[in-house]
């Protein structure tokens, strides 16, 4: 059956006139291939010119049209319009109006890691010879459009975990960390950005509209760099991680936190732990995968790397 109309329930809030947020529902005639952004244009042009939303390029380049559709982060210019949609602004950021949020906090986090190339010596010769093999890690990361969809999807960022700068920041940091021209020791910045708090849940990977592989392409590579460099403190984190995988086949964040934090760290993160627990994101007991024997076999075959 062809879809004739789209019903969009949209978050509305204008702090200059509204005491609190509410939702308005609009019906929009459906066109084949219609995107969420087309629905917003239709509403703005025909039903309610006061609706506020952000966009610029309309072709997955600027990253400005990120929002939530039925609870999932998407780019409005790319996501196909669904028959019934709830449209909401990106979570965890202050709402300026309707679907428009203030992204300054995320932008500041990126600025704090110095996201620009910093050379310690000029190139030996100009033009400088660059080899594709030296940029294999960096090239996909350069595709990041800073849309913050991964920030919106990340459960650790959603909990406002202290010291965790979020996946977009870690991607921007990895772009410089793995750039052979960069002369800075970026590992202290990576620790400062809290790469160790990522729980490898893949939510950021699934949310990224340009499929850059946030976890394997950036965060896991930062972890690997720490292990190879034998930086103290973070080796323990990796050891505990590996032990949990081999023992249970699952990483329970509460156990990970307990075994890698000092007493002071545990106490300061207690509120967050309780929030995790109340949302059902962690349990006190250890669950174990049914096929744990297969995980152990893989660990043995790979030398538990």
- Interacting residues with ligand FES (CB under 6 A): 55-58, 60-65, 75, 77
Residue of the chain from 199, 244, 256, 257 that contacts ligand SF4 (CB under 6 A): 199
Tell me how far, at minimum, the Cβ of 106 lies from ligand FES, in Å: 16
Q: 139-144 contacts: CB < 8 A, separation 24 or more? A: 140/212, 140/213, 140/217, 141/171, 141/174, 141/175, 141/178, 141/212, 141/217, 141/218, 142/175, 143/210, 143/212, 144/168, 144/171, 144/172, 144/175, 144/210, 144/212
Tell me how far, at minimum, the Cβ of 65 lies from ligand FES, in Å: 3
What beta strand segments (E) does 89-229 contain? 95-97, 100-101
Q: Is 74 in the site for ligand SF4 (CB under 6 A)?
A: no
Q: Is 81 in the site for ligand SF4 (CB under 6 A)?
A: no
Contact 9, 25 (CB under 8 A): yes
Q: How many Å apart are CA 43 and CA 27, to the nearest integer?
A: 8
By a kind-dependent CB cut-off of 5 to 8 A, residue 198 interacts, out of ligand SF4, ligand FES, none, with ligand SF4
Stretch that binds ligand SF4, among 15-23, 40-48, 81-89, 141-149 (CB under 6 A): 141-149
Q: Is 201 in the site for ligand SF4 (CB under 6 A)?
A: yes
Dihedral of alpha carbons 40, 45, 47, 51, sign: positive
Residue of the chain from 202, 239, 265, 286 that contacts ligand SF4 (CB under 6 A): 202
Contacting positions for ligand SF4 (CB under 6 A): 144-150, 153-154, 156, 167-168, 171, 198-204, 207-208, 210, 212, 214-215, 219
């Amino acid at each position: 059956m062809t879809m004739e109309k789209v019903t969009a329930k949209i978050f509305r809030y204008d702090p200059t006139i509204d005491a609190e947020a509410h939702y308005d529902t609009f019906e929009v005639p459906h066109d084949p291939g219609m995107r969420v952004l087309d629905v917003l244009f239709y509403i703005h042009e025909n039903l309610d010119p006061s609706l506020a939303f952000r966009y610029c390029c309309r072709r997955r380049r600027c990253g400005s049209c990120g929002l939530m559709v039925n609870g999932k982060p998407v780019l409005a210019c790319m996501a196909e319009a669904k028959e019934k949609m709830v449209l909401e602004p990106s979570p965890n950021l202050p709402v300026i109006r309707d679907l428009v949020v203030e992204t300054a906090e995320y932008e500041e986090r990126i600025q704090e890691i110095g996201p620009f190339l910093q050379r310690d010596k000029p190139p030996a010769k100009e033009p400088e010879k660059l080899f594709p093999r030296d940029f294999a890690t960096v090239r996909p990361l350069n595709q990041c459009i800073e849309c913050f969809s991964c920030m919106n999807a990340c459960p650790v960022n959603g909990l406002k975990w202290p010291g965790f700068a979020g996946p977009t920041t870690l991607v921007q940091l990895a772009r410089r960390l793995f750039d052979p021209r960069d002369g800075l020791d970026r590992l202290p910045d990576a620790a400062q950005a809290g790469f160790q708090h990522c729980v490898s849940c893949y939510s950021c990977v699934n949310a990224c509209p340009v499929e850059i592989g946030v976890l394997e392409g950036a965060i896991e590579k930062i972890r690997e760099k720490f292990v190879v460099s034998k930086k103290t403190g973070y080796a323990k984190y990796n050891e505990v991680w590996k032990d949990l995988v081999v023992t249970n086949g699952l990483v329970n964040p509460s156990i990970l936190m307990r075994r890698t934090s000092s007493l002071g760290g545990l106490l300061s993160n207690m509120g967050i732990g309780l929030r995790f627990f109340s949302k059902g994101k962690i349990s006190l007991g250890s669950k174990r995968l049914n096929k744990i024997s297969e995980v152990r076999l893989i660990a043995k075959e790979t030398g538990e790397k």
